Amino acid sequence: MSEIVKITKVSGSAVPIRGNDIDTDRIIPARYLKEVTFARMGDYPFFDERYDGSGKKKDHPFNDPEYKGAAVLFVNKNFGCGSSREHAPQSLFRFGIKVIVGESFAAIFAGNCTMMGLPAVTVGAKEIEELIKSVEENPGTEYSVDLESMTLSYGNRKIAIALPETYRIALTMGSWDSTALLRANLEQVKKTAAKLPYMSGFSS
Amino acid sequence: MAGRTLYDKIWESHSVGILPTGQTQLFIGLHLIHEITTAPAFDMLRENGLDVAFRDRTFATVDHIVPTDLRQRPFLDKEAEDLTQALERNVEQFGVEFFGLDSMNQGIVHVIGPQLGLTQPGMTLACGDSHTSTHGAFGTLAFGIGTSQVRDVLATQTLAMDKLKVRRINIDGALGIGVYAKDVILNIIRRLGVSGGKGFAYEYGGAVIDRMNMEERMTVCNMSIEGGALVGYVNPDQTTFDYLKGRPHVPSGAAFDRAVNYWKSVASDGDAKFDDVVSYQGKDIEPTVTWGINPGQSVGISERMPKPEEFSDPEGAKKAYEHMGWQPGAPMLGTPINVAFIGSCTNGRLADLRAAAKIAKGRKVNSAVRALVVPGSAQVKKLAEQEGLHEIFTEAGFQWREAGCSMCLAMNPDKLNGREISASSSNRNFIGRQGSPQGRTLLMSPAMVAAAALNGKVVDVREYE
C-alpha cells in the first residue's frame, strides 16, 4: 500500500533451527498476541525455548553469539504449522530474518510471510541438511538468495530454490502488499458480489 | 465434461479476476473478526485512509482473551483490557456489527457464525484464525487468514489466492459406541499426517459423515488445518438445511426455498473429479488420544505409544517423548491427568456438552483434578442451562464458566501450571499451547475428557456408554 519495494535478492549470514513441524505457538507463545501492535514482536521469537522461567538464557541458536545478525533462517519440514498468527513471521522478521529457507512451510504461514515481503523458499531435504551443516560448521558464512535466477549461493556452491510462481512474482514486482492490487478492481468486485444470490438475501 | 466439486463451483462464482501476480482475486462473502488478529489491520486502514468495503458482510466478537470467570470491566489483565478496547474502538469507528461481552450472541467466532445462520452453504468466508475451516461443515469455503489478509478483506472484501487441489476423504460404514467426530478427525490426521493436506482442500464424505449432525461435522472440519489443509468441507444436505432453517440471518418463506435450491446446486456433482481420494472404515476408529506434541501423534485407546522408529521422522517423535516424559511402548490407558478442559471451537457446542454431561451425571470428578467446562458461546451456555447440564457438571465437581476460547490457547487466566497434564477437548497439543511452557496436553473427545476427569487418568469411555 505504501511505496513499492521489489524483493529480488536477499543476502546475509544464517542461523539454523532444526526440527520438523515447528508450530507457530513455539515461534511465538500466545501471551505475546495480547499486544495491540507488532512493534515489539522482534523481542519474542522462540521465547520459551530461549529463556527459562526466571528469564535466564537457554541454549538456542537465536541466543548464540555466533549467529548474531543473521538474515537467513534455515528450517526443516512444515515450518510454521498451526495458528494463523501473523505475529510469528512478524517476530522473525523484526528479529532480523529477511529470508527463510526450508524443506516446506505450512500454508497460512507461507502466505503471511509473502504478504510481509519475507520470502519463504524451499529446497530439497538433502540440500537443507547441507545448508544447516555448512552454517553450523562455519557460522558467519554469507548466503545469497536470488529470486530472479531462483538460486541460493554460498562459497562456490549454487543451489536451486523453489517458490510458488505467484509468490515469486508478487515479491519481485513489489506487489506483495496486495491491497493496492485488489483495490484497483473494486468495481469488478461489486459486480461479482451482485451476482451471488446470498448477497441480496435470496430476494429473487 | 467431468462433474465439478463444491470447491470448483464456489471458486468460480466468487472469482473477481486474475491479478498481475497470477493469483485469483476471490470475493469473500462473510468476514468474521475478533480481538487478536485485527488491531494492526485496522491501523493499516487508518494509515492509508481506507474504509471497510462491505461492512454489512463483516461481524465482530471477542473470544480469545476474555476471562471465563470474572468478566467485569476493566479486566484484571491490563493487556487484555487494552486489546478489547482497541477492538471496541475499531468496530465503533468503522461501523462493524459487534457482539460484545454483554451480547447474547457473544462467543467463539466459529461457534457464533453457524449459530446465527451467518455461515451458509455456497459462500466464501474468512477469519483471522486458522480454525475458520470449521465453517466448511456447511459447504462453505472458509479460509483462516493472517493479519495482512484481514486488512485486505476489510479494505476490499477480497483475497489474493491460489487455487487448491481437492482430496475426497470417505469415512465409510459406521462408528462404534463411544466413538465421536473428534476421534474421526484425529484418525484422519494420524493417517495423512500433519502436513499431508498441504495444497489441498479436504472434502469429507461417506456414510459416517452423512449421518453426522452439523455440530459433529463442524468438529471434523475444524481440525482440517491440523492436517495441513487450509480448507475442509462437507457437501450441504438436508441435515444442513434443517439446521439453518429459522436462524436469525437465514431467509424465511419463499426466500428460504430459493436459498435451499442454491445450496443444493453448490454440492459436488456425483461425477466430480478429485485430485485424490482416500477411504477409511468407521469401524476401525477407536476412542483416540494424542500422546505427543502435534495432533498427528495419536493412538487408539487400546494401543500402546509407538516407537520413534515407526515414524518417517524419528527425531520428531523423540522430541515429543522428551517433552511429554513417557516411554515408547507405554499404554495410553491409565496415563494420569491433572486438568480436564471441555470447550473450544472444536468441541464447545451443545452436543459436546451433552456427551460429556452424560458421562459426568451422578459421578464425581477425581479430587486431584481441576476440571473446567467452558461453553463455546453465550447461547450454548444458555441452552445448556435450560437442559440442566450446568447442574450435572457442577454437582460432579466441574467448574461451569462463561463463553470463550479459554484454555485451548490460554490467552486468558485459564492456564496449565508447570508440568500439569491436561485432558483436553481442544485442537492443539503443541508445546506450551495451554499456557505453561512445560505443560502437557492430551487431545480427546469431550466424553473421553469427562471420563478422564472422573478417574484422574485416561480411561476408555466405552466402559461408560
Q: Where are the alpha helices (DSSP H) in chain A?
A: 24-27, 47-50, 87-95, 107-116, 125-137, 165-172, 179-183, 186-194
- Asked if residue A3 has pLDDT above 80, the reply is no
Cβ pairs bridging A and B (under 8 Å) = 223
Residue of chain A with shortest Cα separation from B22: A166
Residue of chain B with shortest Cα separation from A183: B156
Residue A118 domain flag: yes
pLDDT less than 70: residues of chain B: 1
Residues of chain B contacting residue A84, judged by C-beta atoms under 8 Å apart: 37, 128-130, 144-146
SS3 B442: strand
Paired residues of B201 in beta bridges? B166, B231
The closest CB to that of A189, out of B16, B21, B128, belongs to B16
- Span A66-104, pLDDT tens digits: 999 999 999 999 999 999 999 999 999 999 999 999 999
Subunit contact B15:A108, Cβ cutoff 8 A: no
Residue of chain A with shortest Cα separation from B123: A198
Average of per-residue pLDDT across A112-132: 97
All domains of chain B, ordered by start, with CATH?
Answer: 1-285 (3.30.499.10), 288-463 (3.30.499.10)
Q: What is the pLDDT of residue A204?
A: 83
Residue of chain A with shortest Cα separation from B121: A198
Residue of chain A with shortest Cα separation from B228: A106
Residue A27 domain flag: yes
Q: CA B133, CA B217: separation in Å to the nearest integer?
A: 11
Subunit contact A185:B16, Cβ cutoff 8 A: yes
Subunit contact B156:A112, Cβ cutoff 8 A: no
Q: Are A204 and A152 in contact (CB under 8 A)?
A: no
Q: For residue A154, how many C-alpha atoms fall within 13 Å in the half-sphere facing its CB?
A: 20
Q: What is the pLDDT of residue B375?
A: 98
Q: Which of B370, B51, B8, B14 is nearest to B163 (CA)?
A: B8
- What would the grid cell of residue B247 be? 436462524
Q: CA B25, CA A187: separation in Å to the nearest integer?
A: 13
Q: CA A43, CA A52: separation in Å to the nearest integer?
A: 15
Distances (CA, A) of B82 to B44, B66, B93: 18, 12, 16
Residues of chain B contacting residue A37, judged by C-beta atoms under 8 Å apart: 39-40, 43
Residue A188 domain flag: no
Residue A86 domain flag: yes
Q: Are B202 and B229 in contact (CB under 8 A)?
A: yes
Subunit contact A85:B37, Cβ cutoff 8 A: yes
The closest CB to that of B162, out of A23, A25, A164, belongs to A164
- For the sheet with B370-373, list strands across it: B399-400, B370-373, B339-342, B421-424, B440-443
Residue A158 domain flag: yes
**How many C-beta atoms surround the C-beta of residue B2 within 10 A?**
10
Residue of chain B with shortest Cα separation from A50: B437
B270 burial type by CB count under 10 A (0-12 exposed, 13-18 middle, 19+ buried): exposed
Tell me the shortest Cα–Cα distance from A100 to chain B, in angstroms: 18
- For the sheet with B158-161, list strands across it: B15-18, B24-27, B158-161
Subunit contact B432:A111, Cβ cutoff 8 A: no
Tell me the shortest Cα–Cα distance from A186 to chain B, in angstroms: 7
Whether the bond into B375 is cis, omega within 30 of 0: no
Q: CA B291, CA B331: separation in Å to the nearest integer?
A: 10
Q: Are B16 and B26 in contact (CB under 8 A)?
A: yes
Residues of chain A contacting residue B435, judged by C-beta atoms under 8 Å apart: 30-31
Residue A181 domain flag: no
Residues of chain A contacting residue B34, judged by C-beta atoms under 8 Å apart: none
Residue of chain B with shortest Cα separation from A176: B21
The closest CB to that of B262, out of A78, A111, A202, belongs to A202
Residues of chain B contacting residue A166, judged by C-beta atoms under 8 Å apart: 21-23, 162
Residues of chain A contacting residue B158, judged by C-beta atoms under 8 Å apart: 182, 185, 189
Residue of chain A with shortest Cα separation from B120: A198
Q: For residue B452, how many C-alpha atoms fall within 13 Å in the half-sphere facing its CB?
A: 34
SS3 A116: helix
The percent helix, strand, coil of chain A (3-state, each to 5) is 40, 20, 45
Tell me the shortest Cα–Cα distance from A204 to chain B, in angstroms: 7
- Span A33-42, pLDDT tens digits: 999 999 999 9
Q: What is the pLDDT of residue A4?
A: 81
The closest CB to that of A1, out of B19, B44, B432, belongs to B44
> Which site among B13, B130, B263 would you substitute to test the A interface, given the most A Cβ atoms closer than 10 Å to its Cβ?
B130
Residues of chain B contacting residue A33, judged by C-beta atoms under 8 Å apart: 36-37, 64, 411
Q: What is the pLDDT of residue A1?
A: 47
Tell me the shortest Cα–Cα distance from B391 to chain A, in angstroms: 32
Subunit contact B39:A199, Cβ cutoff 8 A: no
**How many C-beta atoms surround the C-beta of residue A39 within 10 A?**
11
Subunit contact B16:A116, Cβ cutoff 8 A: no
Tell me the shortest Cα–Cα distance from A156 to chain B, in angstroms: 31
> Which site among A2, A189, A200 would you substitute to test the B interface, given the most B Cβ atoms closer than 10 Å to its Cβ?
A189
Subunit contact B48:A1, Cβ cutoff 8 A: yes
- Asked if residue A2 has pLDDT above 60, the reply is no
SS3 B343: coil
SS3 B50: coil
Say if pTM beats, i.e. exceeds, 0.90.
yes
The closest CB to that of B259, out of A23, A167, A202, belongs to A202
What's the length of chain A?
Answer: 204
Provide the domain limits for residue A107: 9-175
B449 burial type by CB count under 10 A (0-12 exposed, 13-18 middle, 19+ buried): buried
ipTM: 0.97
Q: Residues with Cβ < 8 Å from B77, sequence gap 6 or more?
A: A34, B65, B67, B412, B413
Q: Please tell me the total count of domains within chain A.
A: 1
- What would the grid cell of residue B424 be? 483436553
- Asked if residue A144 has pLDDT above 70, the reply is yes
Subunit contact A185:B25, Cβ cutoff 8 A: yes
SS3 A121: strand
> Which site among A44, A47, A86 would you substitute to test the B interface, given the most B Cβ atoms closer than 10 Å to its Cβ?
A86
Residue A42 domain flag: yes
Query: What is the domain-level CATH number for residue A109?
Result: 3.20.19.10
Kindly report the backbone phi and psi dihedral angles of residue B164, in degrees, each rounded to the nearest multiple of 5, phi listed first: -95, 165
Residue A182 domain flag: no
Subunit contact B431:A25, Cβ cutoff 8 A: yes
Residues of chain A contacting residue B77, judged by C-beta atoms under 8 Å apart: 34
Distance of CA B167 to the CA centre of its chain: 20
- What would the grid cell of residue A203 be? 430476494
